[in-house]
Homo-oligomer: A and B are copies of this chain.
Amino acid sequence: MAFLDENYLLTNNTAKKVYNQIKDLPILDAHNHADIKEIRENKNYSDIWFIEAATDHYVWELLRKRGVDEKYITGNVSNKEKWMKLSEVFEDLVANPVYEWVHLDLQRRFGIDLLINEKNAEKIWDQTKEILSQKNFKPQSLLKEMNVEVMCSTDDPIDSLEHHRALKESDCKTKILPTWRPDKSMRINKEDFPEYIGKVGQRVQKEILTIDDLIDALQKTHDFFEKMGAKASDHGVEIPFGYNIDHEKADQIFKKRMRGKKVNKEEEKAYMSYMLHQFGQMNVKSNWVMQIHLGAVRDIRNKLYNNIGPDSGGDISNHFISIVEPLKAFLNKFDGRLKIVLYALDPTHYPTLATLTRAFGETVSLGAAWWFNDSPIGMKRQLEYIGTVDLLMTFAGMVTDSRKLMSYGSRTEMFRRVLSDVLGNLVEKGQIPLDLAIQSAKHICYERKRNLFNF
């Protein structure tokens, strides 16, 4: 088999049959980090570094790992210099999905079969530069070519969604929906929390003095997102605190913080729990899906956080996190009333989460293999496992979690091939009939997401 050829990741004939039935299905992507302004403006891209690496911390981390100086990653040298440096070390990224994704983009989008290395660096720079200047290489036509039918960006509640609005009114074929992610209003001990709360107040033109004021203001943004087509909220939490907390206690903690004092660990837990319940209530009302991304320990590397800022690569997973105890009151309170998707960052949390989603029935689903697990082996291990504990057919489905537009195609292709291989193997081992494998694959890639998210 040749590198990334038509049988890429398909290890048997049944897998190939299954993949043929799903490869052309439209993409429904419930979670990503799209730059909506970029899509709206719909300009040509400058170069291969910009489109592949400039906004993608997956690439940054690996370049750092290989000892590339920060100036060639997030620094001020030219994109061409950055690309040349990336090409020097790119072979050392072998066995990491980034190696496959970028080459998939080169082959599938640009039609370039060259391997990225020092020798080919200049040639690839030039060839892609030329292609990127062509008319059909703008964001909206790329989305169309990649067959993206619906995609959900990740947005702060105070976002004006002006670019979403403009796109809605444009003739862009892809349905681009916002996702309401109120993490900043949860992180009560961050330096800029009071300032952020001020901005929330400004957004709804009402001063926020109590936690009720805050909930009201956030509800208004929730209503606005709903009007703008949002189908889901999203929440990033290290530990999913969801204890039952008195309104009065939460209000006191909030007021303490707004007076400029930091709150203690117990108060932080209580506040975050209270807010999660409030968000759950809002989502019940709108029949939204509540996506919880749990287990990410953020900004662990001081050097990066201090010099580059958050979301630059200093994040890790941590096996040593309690999930059941903090989450059970929340799951019970909203049992049967709220659609919840749980994403685990640490694969050692899968058994806990899979048995939890099994126990809570129809409305609680396990999310896709996330971030560090978004690789052929990570997805394979998860997919092989989910169905044996929970149900594969009620798994929430793949999301791209993209940090760059080019990712929609390559990440989706990788997932669909892995899914086909997993189902193909089950058929080859006599565990399921072929017809059912094909029917399941289609369902998981399309109908399931359509039904779950009301796309």
Contact = CB atoms under 8 A, between A and B. Distances in A.
Interface of A: 1-5, 7-9, 11, 61-62, 64-67, 91-97, 99-100, 115, 297, 300-304, 313-325, 328, 331-332, 335-336, 346-349, 351-352, 354-356, 358-362, 372, 375-378, 384-394, 423, 426-433, 436-437, 439-440
A319 B351 contact: yes
Given A9-B431, A324-B297, A378 B388 contact: yes
Nearest to A315: B359
Given A61-B359, A303-B332, A378-B388, 6 more contacts: A3-B431, A3-B433, A95-B432, A300-B356, A320-B321, A372-B389
A355 B375 CA distance: 14
Contacts of A5: 430
A433 to B, nearest CB: 5
A298 B375 CA distance: 34
Contacts of A304: 359
Contacts of A376: 388, 429, 431
Nearest to A389: B372
Query: Binding site of A, secondary structure by majority: helix, strand, loop or mixed?
Result: helix
Contact of A332 (B64, B301, B332, B372): B301
A401 B283 CA distance: 40
Contact of A316 (B2, B303, B324, B384): B324
Nearest to A431: B100
Q: Nearest 10 pairs between A and B by C-beta?
A: A95-B387, A375-B388, A8-B430, A316-B355, A67-B362, A64-B361, A95-B392, A92-B393, A302-B332, A320-B322
Nearest to A14: B1
Nearest to A328: B300
A315 B359 CA distance: 6
Nearest to A2: B430
Contacts of A302: 332, 335
A5 B430 CA distance: 7
A94 B387 contact: yes
Given A297-B324, A318-B324, A359-B300, A431 B95 contact: yes
A93 B394 CA distance: 9
Nearest to A6: B430
Nearest to A375: B388
A303 B359 contact: no
Given A94-B440, A95-B387, A332-B302, A355 B317 contact: yes
A96 B62 contact: no
A318 B356 CA distance: 9
Contacts of A320: 320-325, 352
Contact of A429 (B8, B362, B375): B8
B388 A95 contact: yes
Contacts of A347: 351
13 contacts: A3-B432, A9-B430, A9-B431, A64-B361, A66-B362, A66-B393, A93-B393, A95-B387, A95-B431, A95-B432, A100-B431, A354-B372, A355-B372
